[in-house]
């Protein structure tokens, strides 16, 4: 859709949510290592845990980094709140790694994981940020956390921290929809929302593939 067409913001937001949901369902057939569901050894699980710890920390840094350049007071508060919350998630994952004698930070991220967060950090408009991260990213993360919690193949020591993380992430997919409906009221803003969702989905998809390569094929960068 071109940037000159203005649609009802509610409709745009519903479309974007449907796009993210469709991507989530497309993963069902072959869930990524990221979800923990297909993993069979603790070595694999610990590697994914380290990878997801990296995400929690980078997420906190991204939210914190947006503060100064977010003029909308409500979004600024949310970003600050999320930054703190993500560090809490990091702490939960660090505990599980340390309890198993694993250095939480002895992890080198694959290229797409670096690129994902650097890209999020570089987004300049509030609407594109909300679309790419809380909307596309957090909805997807929540979806895959629910898969992990429901899977008999995922051991309790992995489920435990994710029960708490999952509870906190529940609301993360909803507030961006509200905010986007309020702010995406020009054709330009709506184009940035579409682009933000595409960035969020595509870069995460690439990260999932590369994490699969690490876990299942021993690839390292
Ligand atoms: Fe988190
Ligand atoms: Fe989150």
Ligand positioned closest to the Cα atom of 53? 1
- The reported pLDDT for the residue numbered 175 is 87
CA atoms within 13 A on the CB side of 122: 8
Average predicted confidence (pLDDT) for the chain: 96
* Domain ranges, ordered by start, for the chain: 9-28+40-217
Q: In Å, how far are 1, 66, 97, 126 from 76, measured between CA atoms?
A: 30, 8, 32, 10
pLDDT digits (tens, 9 = 90+) for 95-146: 999 999 999 999 999 999 999 999 999 999 999 999 999 999 989 999 999 9
Ligand positioned closest to the Cα atom of 140? 2
Percent of the chain with pLDDT over 70: 97
Neighbours of ion ligand 2 (CB under 5 A): 138
Percent of the chain with pLDDT over 90: 93
Q: What is the CA radius of gyration of the chain?
A: 17
Residue with tokens 């650097």: 118
CA of 2 to the centre of ligand 2 (A): 31
d(CA 13, CA 39): 34
CATH code 3.90.180.10 for 9-28+40-217:
no
CA of 169 to the centre of ligand 2 (A): 5
pLDDT digits (tens, 9 = 90+) for 190-203: 999 999 999 999 99
What is the sign of the dihedral through the CA atoms of 103, 105, 108 and 113? positive
What is the sign of the dihedral through the CA atoms of 45, 47, 49 and 52? negative
């Amino acid at each position: 859709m071109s940037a000159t067409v203005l649609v009802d913001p509610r409709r745009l937001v519903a479309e974007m949510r449907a796009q993210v949901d469709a991507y989530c369902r497309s993963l069902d057939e072959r869930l990524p290592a990221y979800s923990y569901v297909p993993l069979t050894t603790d070595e694999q699980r610990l590697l994914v845990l380290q990878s997801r710890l990296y995400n929690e920390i980078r997420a906190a840094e991204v939210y914190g980094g947006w503060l100064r350049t977010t003029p909308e007071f409500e979004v600024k508060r949310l970003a600050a709140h999320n930054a703190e919350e993500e560090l809490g998630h990091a702490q939960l994952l660090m505990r599980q790694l340390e309890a198993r004698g694993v250095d939480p930070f002895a992890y080198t991220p694959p290229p797409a994981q670096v690129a994902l967060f650097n890209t999020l950090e570089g987004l300049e408009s509030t609407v594109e940020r909300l679309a790419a991260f809380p909307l596309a990213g957090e909805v997807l993360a929540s979806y895959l956390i629910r898969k992990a919690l429901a899977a008999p193949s995922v051991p309790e020591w992995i489920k435990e921290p994710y029960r708490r993380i999952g509870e906190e992430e529940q609301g993360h997919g909803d507030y961006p929809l509200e905010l986007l409906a309020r702010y995406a009221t020009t054709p330009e803003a709506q184009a940035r929302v579409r682009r933000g969702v595409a960035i969020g989905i595509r870069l995460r998809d690439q990260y999932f593939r590369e994490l699969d390569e690490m876990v299942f094929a021993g690839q390292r960068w």
